[in-house]
Amino acid sequence: MRSLKRIATAIFVALGVIGFTVGIASAITAPRMDAVVGSFTANSPAGLLPTPCTGGGVSPDTFVQSHGVATGPALDTSTSELFSLAGTVTLKSKQLADLTTGEIVATGSFLLKYPNDARHIVKGSFQAVATGTPGTNPYPVTGRGFANVSQFKKTSTGFVPTGLKALLNVEFITTPTAPPPDGSHTAPTQTVGHFGDPTDGYDDLAAEFVGGCP
């Protein structure tokens, strides 16, 4: 019986089956998820007035479109985490607002840089819906959405994914940092938000994760 086992093992080794199996097993990373909780504050510089939407039968007094960039600190208060979401966050967004209802749709990019680690960054995209007071000055605006981000590491050929990701349910409020002097959108604004924070009475779900099922 032992000789048969030795023969079978020799055949498997010769065919590379055992070596192949071990190589695959060592390369697989077990999946893991961690809840994540944090917050951010992003300030926008003074910008241009929103551009009225024209064409397609749309009234320019109804819909306006604007672009913006906001930057500020982000905190990660998680007790258990796969990677940190604490650093300096930059949000580049495009907003479409209905002046008659105060409804706003925003999409854009998310970039987080670590203060003491230039070799890693976190970037991705976000989508959100918000609402404010109908009219040209909707502030304060409250909203909710998702950010889908991944961590990247710097290599000799550029930044490549580390495999670490986060899907964040985000809530936020945007207010002027100073009263607009003429009722327009030209005043700087501040967006304060949080992710994974249940303090509003219900869970805001957010998770970091890595790997997949073998």
User: What would the pLDDT profile of 31-84 be if each residue is shown by its tens digit?
Assistant: 788 889 999 999 998 766 788 887 666 665 688 888 889 999 999 998 877 899
Q: What are phi and psi of 174, to 5 degrees?
A: -115, 125
179 upstream amide cis, omega within 30 of 0: no
Q: How far apart are CA 197 and CA 206, in angstroms?
A: 9
User: What would the pLDDT profile of 163-213 be if each residue is shown by its tens digit?
Assistant: 999 999 999 999 987 766 666 656 778 999 999 887 766 666 777 777 666
Q: How far apart are CA 85 and CA 72, in angstroms?
A: 13
Contact 84, 114 (CB under 8 A): yes
At residue 117, the 3 state secondary structure works out as: strand
DSSP string of 159-182? Answer: EEEEEEEEEEEEEEEEEESS--TT
The pTM (predicted TM-score) of the whole model is 0.78
Count of CB atoms within 10 A of residue 99's CB?
A: 19
> Is 115 a residue whose pLDDT tops 90?
yes
Residue carrying the six token digits 């003429």: 182
